[in-house]
Structure 1
Amino acid sequence: MKPSIVLLLSLAFCACKEENVLPKPKAMLRLEYERPDSGLVETAYFTFEANAAAKVDQKNSQSIVLEYPEMKAAIFLNYRAVEDDLNSLIRDAHKLSGEHAARADGIQQKVFENFDNKVYGAFYEVSGDAASQAQFFATDSLNHFVTGALYFKTKPNYDSIYPAAKYLQNDMGRIMESLRWK
């Protein structure tokens, strides 16, 4: 027998061994982000602290976009005057969050109250493959109303964007906590 045939047959017998195959454990991508430095952002109607890593793009006096180019994400902030329609503004904010319920695995609402600075609202944390991973609204109940929404510039895959979503949800929480009306 030729040596190449013997080698081929021995490889075939070795390759047919039955081994115990174990599934790989579930794992998540570990991305770590530095603790953010913050800077004050001023508009005609309110001020807040924003992550210094965010590029602030003030579209007009009522609309601001905080761009996070490294994460391919943006937080959109919109201001509206209350003008005796607070209930409809709150209803619209709830409705906007509810629109993501079809694709979301869950939406967790957290009530926010800062009596000293007269800032009241709610924060919505969205889990699952929804278009927006977080939203909030804040108001003083008389004159001012602000909404915020987090969007990624990619197809929503919750497992992949989870670390960045958590990081940016913390930034949104900081915006709410530092919000001051003019």
Structure 2
Amino acid sequence: MKIKLLIYVGLVSCLLTSCTGEVATPKPRGYFNIEFPEKKYQAYTGGCPFTFDYPVYAQMQPDRDRGAQPCWNNLNFGQFNGRLHLTYHPVHSGAEFTKLVEYARELAFKHTVKANAIDQKLINYPDKKVYGVYYAIEGNTASSVQFFLTDSVHNYFRGALYFNERPQADSIAPVVKFIKKDIDVMISSFKWKN
């Protein structure tokens, strides 16, 4: 009996002296290190009435999910699990142009519920007749970048960036920042063919 008591006292004293008084806290969830490719661009010259430069590490593919519209494409960023939806509409009237511009604004501001901020920047390249609006959407939203480009008369082009992940702004922020630079190059190099 004395031996069992000594073992019990010894175990209790070991447990009490081994505690350092520090409170254990859970570690935050970790994310993988992201390797970014070198920035290089190629020209998109497809059978559409526009051209622009896009990154060589992205694949341009026809958008089959939303119908077989000509000049509707997805610029897939496979290694980042994201895509830039690109749509083109010929404009036949002032009313149609107004409707398309308003629709782009509505789609961007649908994210207001989850967005921390939506910044709008005018796009204005009068020498190339390229005008539009760039929407930078901050927060845990489905899309963090949307824009449209137009010549204000005959052509309308729209882009929206999406990721195939649950929106977590803090975890995808480096990727969004990286792809925003590619979108800036696309917009600054954009030209109408006619």
Taking structure 2 as the reference length, the TM-score comes to: 0.82
For structure 2, the residue ranges without an aligned partner over 5 or more in a row are 64-68
Q: CA deviation at 1:130?
A: 1.0
Q: Which residue of 2 aligns with 1:107?
A: 118
2:36 pairs, out of 24, 33, 49, with: 33
Amino acid at match of 1:175: M
2:174 matched to 1:163? yes
Matched residues, percent identical? 31
Greater radius of gyration (CA): 2
Q: 1:135 Cα deviation (Å)?
A: 0.3
Q: Please give the residue correspondences for 1:13-162 in structure 2 after superposition, counting only pairs within 5 Å.
A: 13-19=16-22, 31-43=34-46, 44-59=48-63, 61-84=70-93, 85-162=96-173
- Worse-matched range after superposition: 116-125 or 16-25: 16-25
- Whose strand proportion is higher, 1 or 2? 1
SS state at 1:109 partner? strand
CA distance in 1, matches of 2:10, 2:168: 47
CA separation of 1:129/1:40 partners in 2, compared to 1, >3 Å: closer, same or farther?
Answer: same
Shift of 1:50: 0.6
Alpha-carbon distance between aligned partners in 1 of 2:74 and 2:20, rounded to the nearest angstrom:
59
Residue 37 of structure 2 aligns with an amino acid whose one-letter code is E
Cα contact 1:29–1:160 (8 A) shared by 2? no
Q: Deviation per CA, 1:42-69: give whole Å up to 9, x if none.
A: 1321011011000110345320111111
Measure, in 2, the Cα distance between the counterparts of 1:117 and 1:4. Answer: 87
Counterpart code for 2:82: A
- Distance in 1 (CA, whole Å) between partners of 2:164 and 2:140 is 13
Partners of 2:38 and 2:121 lie apart in 1 by 23
Give structure 1 stretches of 5+ with no counterpart: none
Question: C-alpha distance in 1, partners of 2:154/2:176?
Answer: 31
Residue 13 of structure 2 aligns with which residue? Answer: 10
4+ residue segments displaced more than 3 Å: 1-7, 19-25, 27-32
What is the CA–CA distance in structure 2 between the aligned matches of 1:117 and 1:155, rounded to whole Å?
38
Match for residue 180 of structure 1? 191
Q: Tell me how far apart the structure 1 counterparts of residues 59 and 150 of structure 2 sit (CA, whole Å).
A: 24
Matched residue type, 2:189: S
SS of the residue corresponding to residue 92 of structure 1 reads helix
Task: Judge conservation of contact 2:130–2:151 (CA < 8 Å) in 1.
Answer: yes
CA contact under 8 A between 1:80 and 1:146: conserved in structure 2?
yes
